[in-house]
Amino acid sequence: MSVHPDDDPRTDGGFAGERDTLVGFLRDQRLTLEMKCAGLDAAAMARRSVGPSNLSLLGLVRHLAGVEQTWFRRVMAGQDVPRHYRSKDDPNGDFDGAVPDADVVAEAWATWRSEAAFAERFVGEARDFDVTGANGDEPISLREVLVHTIEEYARHNGHADFLRERIDGKVGQ
């Protein structure tokens, strides 16, 4: 999973201003997730960590698609859309439904990319980071949503490090 520094698509920081910093760090976290999953087949993507955990790289992709959808589409844009993988009857569907099937993997990546693209458009069109959405009855700023999303990716990319190492011994940056 190691890439030569010249081939690493991520930045090494150096952002100027709030917008570039938040957008840049979120972009780098998304790229990190993709890099941690690069080159794996469906069986490897769906491989569980250690029982009884249902954690897998595929589950993380599905979960993070849901994170993007919830915070940007549902909370910030106010769209009333059904969640991709979770429901009241299946609250762990993002991880439980992460099965070793190439079509499931392809669909998860397509959904994740679609939600990330929506978020990028939403953020790009926002007049500033003080715009608010509704998190239940509480208003929440786009700034806080961006920081929370970066934190969510950073935490789960840490999980992805361990999952990838368990799959094929590769550790990455």
How do residues 134-153 score in pLDDT, each as one tens digit?
988 899 999 999 999 999 99
Alpha-carbon gap, residue 159 to 18, rounded angstroms:
27
Please identify, in words, the CATH class of the domain defined by 24-168.
mainly alpha
Alpha-carbon distance values, 46 to 1, 59, 66, 126, 169 (Å): 18, 7, 17, 36, 16
pLDDT over 80 at 12, yes or no: no
User: Given pLDDT bands bounded at 50, 70 and 90, which one contains residue 4?
Assistant: low
Residues 63, 92: contact at Cβ < 8 Å? no
The domain locations on the chain are 24-168
pLDDT in tens, 35-71: 999 999 999 999 998 878 999 999 999 999 999 999 9
